[in-house]
Structures are given as structure tokens and as C-alpha cells.
Amino acid sequence: MLEQHLVILLMKLAVSAALASILGRSSAFLRMLTREERTTPQRLQMAVGFAVIFGGGIVLRVLTQNNYQALDLGLEGALLAGVLGGYVTGLVGGILISLPACLMNGEWMAMLLYAGLGVTGGLLRDLAPSKDDIWRFSPYLDLTVYRLFRAKYDFRVTLFHGFVLLIIIFAEFCRWALSQLLPDDRFLYTLYSSWKQPDWLGMLLIYSSTIFAFAIPLKIWNSIRQEQLLGAQQRLLTEARLRALTSQINPHFLFNTLNTVNSLIRTNPEQARTVVRKLSNILRRLLRKDENLSPLRDEISFINDYLSIEMTRFGEKLRFVNETAPDTLDRLIPSMLLQPIIENSIKHGLSSKVEGGVITLRTRVRDERLHIEIEDDGVGVEESKLATMFDSGIGVSNVNERLHVLFGDDYRMDVDSRPGEGTRTHIEFPDLSGRR
């Protein structure tokens, strides 16, 4: 007989893990779990979620005439609803979980017990030192006691976890006490009904199964919750990195532009006003930019403003040839992708060339991938510097890092340069339509 009931208790733990995994697959339920503050409708929705899963187990137990006792996790479900959702979720969840037993089998005492445990779970939630401490509950008493004496550990957390353990034991005690007071199991079904006078070992097994049936879903959901929080933090970190990389512009460009304006104010005030207007367009775009992707035509407009300022400094020595294909102008590309490379071409390729040179921009689409080429006929880059170009500076390395953040390994960036002949940068990445 003991072996038979041991199998039932082990199956109860397996069912607890299975139900927790089923709820963990619901994105709506996971969103509720990760919220610390909830509106009343959200609390009621959470209660319904608990009722559907844990109440469904009771329905199957009743329909099979108590042959599948391990499916009944109403007590643990009501307590979890209160601990994770608060008073309203616990109360409503406990009532809804008990409804199948009440309506289908006349077990009306279950409603009183589960509703009370749901409210008790809400009390536990309010007593927690922090909401994260709820998720850190461990059913192992030795670990809880060890933490109490560990240096720099908040003893309130240990006391709270110990109190949660006592409440679970108290909940199972209440179920046992009611089973002893009621004449039969018509008003409240329990494992004790089929276990004739369990000895101390049997009682220990029942209490242990209740504790672990409560803790297992908590651990499973916490693991999923931590993955979601980590994913959200990673997305925020990625967005922050992209914003930082996007906003980078060489401060020397600003200094040189202001010096140019200072010189033009005396000799050509009209041209000075034009340069200031172009510079204001550039700064306005940088300050207002809050998206990681932009249409290619917007980036070219930005480049035109940028180059018009540089052409004021270099005069006819600097020329720009735009050979972009018309079908690429509306394609999305990472914001500020072109400017760092073109700045590199000017600074390292053309500025030291007496007769100046030409920067050519080409784009095309092939096999649903956008190809961008930026080529100059400047002095080129030495092979030793070319090998470390992706690891230093804010030009090519900036662009390469942003592409890696956005696409992982699904992109290609090559820099080909020959001293005295010029440099060509080729970038290829997949179509970004729908990702803006």
C-alpha cells in the first residue's frame, strides 16, 4: 500500500512540473508573471489562468472517479495564485479552482479551503522583503537555515522563506484536519480518504509532496522569467550600444567646420550661413535620431549635407559621384552607416592627396541582399594598417560592430585597398523590410 501511494505522490510532482511548463508556454501568462504591479483586470486574468490549469486537473480527477488523484493540485494552485498575484488573484483563483469539485462532486468545503489559502498567499506576498525574494524560495530547510548564518545575508529573507514553508505545512495540516472532522470525502476530497490511517512516514511523504508541488512551478516559472528578463536587458543593452555607435561623429569634423565658418564670416558671409545651415541639419538629425534603421535616400541626404561642408573646406579637390540604383533608395539600412566610411575616405585617402579625388557610392540589390560600395581614388591604406582596421578607430570598426550587433554573422564587410590607387569598402546584408 505504501508503494502504491508513493507512486501517486511522485506522479503528483510530475504533474506539477507538467502544468507549470504548460503555463510557461503562454506568453500572456508570462507577461503577467513579470509584472510587479497589475491592474484589477490583469489580476482577474491571472486568476483565470491558474483556474484553467489547476482546475482542469480536478475535472479530470472527478471524471475518472478519483482514479487519477495525482491530478488534483488545487491546494498548491490556490496558494501559488495568492503568492504570485496577490489577494484578489488568490481569492478569485482559489474559488475558480474549486468550482469543478463543488459543482461536479459536491465538495463545497474545497471552496472555503482554497479561497482561504489564496488570501493567505496574498498575505505572504505582502510580507516578502522584496518581490524577487518570493521567487527565491527553496523547499530545503537546511539551505534556509544556512543562509540565516551566512555573512552579509539579509536575515529577513531567510525568515520569510521559513514562514512560507510553515504556511505550506499549515495548509496541508488544515486539509488533514478537515478530513478528520468531516464524516466522509463528499465535502472535501483528500489523499487521506484513500490512505487508511497513514503512519508517520506516510504523513511525511504527503507533506513533502505538497511542499515540492508548490516549489516546482515556482522554480520553473522563475527560470523562464529570468530568461525573459535577461533577454529584455540584452535588447536594451543592444539598443543602447546601437544608439551610442550611431551618434558617434568625429569631433574633429565639428572643430574643422567651426573653423571654416569662422574664416568665411569675414570673406563670404553667405557661404558661412550655408555651412551653418548644413551643420544644423546634421546635428538636428543626430539629436532626434531614435531609430536604428533609415531609408537609404535619407542617409544619402545626410551625406549630401556632410559632403557639402567638406567641399567648402577642400573646394574642387573633393568630388562625390552617386551611382545608387533607384530600386535601393527605399531600402532600409542601419542609420549613420555611410558617414563614418566616407569620413575615413576623406581623412585618410584624399586629404593628403594634392590634386584631391573622387568618392563614389554604388548600391544594388542581388538575391534579396543589399550591396553597398564606397570607393575613393585616394592614397590608399598600407597593408599593415589594413589588417587592424576593424579593431581601431571610430570609422570602419564602428560600422563593423553595428552590423555585427544587428545581423550576427549574416553580413559581410570587406575593405580592399592598394597604396597609391585608393580604397574600396563593400558591405552586404539581408533585406531589412519590415524590421523598422
Q: Encode pLDDT of 126-137 as tens digits.
A: 998 888 888 888
Q: For 78-129, what is the HEC assignment?
A: HHHHHHHHCHHHHHHHHHHHHHHHHHHHCCCHHHHHHHHHHHHHHHHHHHCC
Looking at residue 257, its pLDDT comes to: 75
Listed by start position, the domains of the chain span 2-241, 247-430
For residue 28, the surrounding DSSP H or E stretch is helix 27-34
In the chain, the N- to C-terminal Cα span, in Å, equals 64
pLDDT digits (tens, 9 = 90+) for 351-390: 777 677 889 999 999 988 999 999 998 888 777 677 666 6
Domain 247-430 CATH class label:
alpha beta
| pTM, rounded to two decimals | 0.60
**pLDDT higher than 70, residue 141:** no
Instruction: Please name the residues in contact with 287: beta carbons below 8 A apart, sequence gap of 6 or more.
Output: none
Q: Name the band, by pLDDT with cuts 50, 70 and 90, for residue 69.
A: confident
For residue 40, the surrounding DSSP H or E stretch is helix 40-63
